[in-house]
Amino acid sequence: MSFLAFPLRLQNSFLLRTGEVEAVLSLIRMMAATPGGSWVGSRHFGVRDIFESARAQPNAIAMALAEMNLALKDLDISDYRVESISREAAVKLGIDSYLVTIVSVADESRTYSIGVDA
């Protein structure tokens, strides 16, 4: 099964396709950049605000992980779940970086990660 690539792009008048893992990781990146409650498709989709409050709220990372998994559930994406979110060394002043790791529900040895900034 092929999936749409994010952001949506055309190639020869057709929407560009991508693999399942790449689509889910792109979706995770979009979740991290979207403010909470701003998308009607899932009230859990946006976690940008949670990431931005992570310095002051010790449980913010756990909240972001839970919201991302609820958003995946809302979107009927059941083959993957967010397993962990860890803070990375800051590359740019004032911008926090995180590594979000997803895991295959069918085979937990298959994990994939993507870096996101907040």
pLDDT surpasses 90 at 23 = no
Q: What is the reported pTM?
A: 0.84
Token pair recorded at residue 80:
């993957």
Residue 78, CB-side half-sphere exposure with 13 Å CA sphere: 1
The region of weakest confidence among 5-14, 56-65, 80-89 is: 5-14
Q: Is the pLDDT of residue 28 over 80?
A: yes
* Structural domain 20-117, CATH architecture: Roll (3.10)
The two tokens of residue 66 are: 């839970």
Distance CA 107, CA 75 (A): 21
Instruction: Please provide the DSSP assignment of 18-65 as one string.
Output: E-HHHHHHHHHHHHHHSPTT--TT-TTS--HHHHHTTTT-TTHHHHHH
